[in-house]
Amino acid sequence: MRVTEVALATSVPPVLRRTGPGGAEAGRDWLAACMASWPAPGWRVLTLNPPEEAPALPPGIEPAPAAPGVAAAYGRPGAWIADALAAACATGAPVVGLVNADILFDLDAGRRAALLDRARGGIVACNRMDVLHASQAEGPFYRYGYDLMLMPRGVAAGLDLTGFAFGVPWWDYWILLDAVLQGVPVAVVQCAGLRHLAHREAWSEPARRRALAVLVGHLAPRRAALGALGLDPVAEAAVDLLMAATPHLGEAYGVEEMMSVAGTRFGMEVVRILERDAWRLA
């Protein structure tokens, strides 16, 4: 039996809706293609799902139970990021990671080896390539999200991901911020081998603000360390506004709007900081 080198965790939805050419529904076929693309020799893949989802899985994808609470927190069922990463760590693989369920791998052995080599020394965070249909091989990279992450198991064990869930923004930003603040090397990769069928944002604004509040709660004790990363003055002000506004979310007029604007500005600054060590994998 081949040794597991990489253990990936995700949360496969029971139904995926995507629009293909001519407006045809393409989600089912895209999701099936994504799942089929993840396994490879030495790569183990797990999906965490609550009982009510229980997706049908192809060979090579292992089911794992998801703890409750995501629906109550964010308005729809899902899995906690912390649980998913812990499940990957429990496999004993030296490199573990997370992948969003709608990401298609076009990763030959060489690409996988290049990612794995980088991930042995720190976190590799991959930007996806957006496409409009399944046969499209090239498209623009999406800089403002990280749909595949790989890291040493020891690094994963030191991350605090309480409160974040698949399908809701900000967890990818927090993983990388947490790592940077701990002195863990982070490399951003634009990888032509990660494709994503473009679609409208599927999360709700209340869920986005809730997840942003979770991020701010994690970040608050390390505000001084964040400033040492060299934020620009506008981003500094956005962080301070988030710190002040988050405790009053839902209590006062305009707080939600302020958080949305400040969060977007802060997110752009996080991307700028992370791209100090960026590379492209053709």
Regions of the chain where pLDDT drops below 50: 1
Helices 233-245 and 205-219: crossing angle, nearest 10°? 100
State how far the Cα of 142 lies from the Cα of 159, in Å rounded to an integer. Answer: 25
User: Is 245 inside any structural domain?
Assistant: yes
Q: What is the pLDDT of residue 163?
A: 98
How many domains, in total, are found in the chain? 1
Q: 9 forms bridges with which residues in the sheet?
A: 46, 98
User: Is 247 inside any structural domain?
Assistant: yes
User: Is 15 inside any structural domain?
Assistant: no
Q: What is the pLDDT of residue 203?
A: 67
User: Is 223 inside any structural domain?
Assistant: yes
- The model carries a pTM of 0.94
Q: 217 is in which domain, residue-wise?
A: 205-275
User: Is 58 inside any structural domain?
Assistant: no
- 51-108 pLDDT per residue, tens: 888 778 888 999 999 999 999 999 989 999 999 999 999 999 999 999 999 999 999 9
User: Is 237 inside any structural domain?
Assistant: yes
User: Is 229 inside any structural domain?
Assistant: yes
Is residue 20 within 8 A of residue 133, CB to CB? The reply is yes
User: Is 210 inside any structural domain?
Assistant: yes
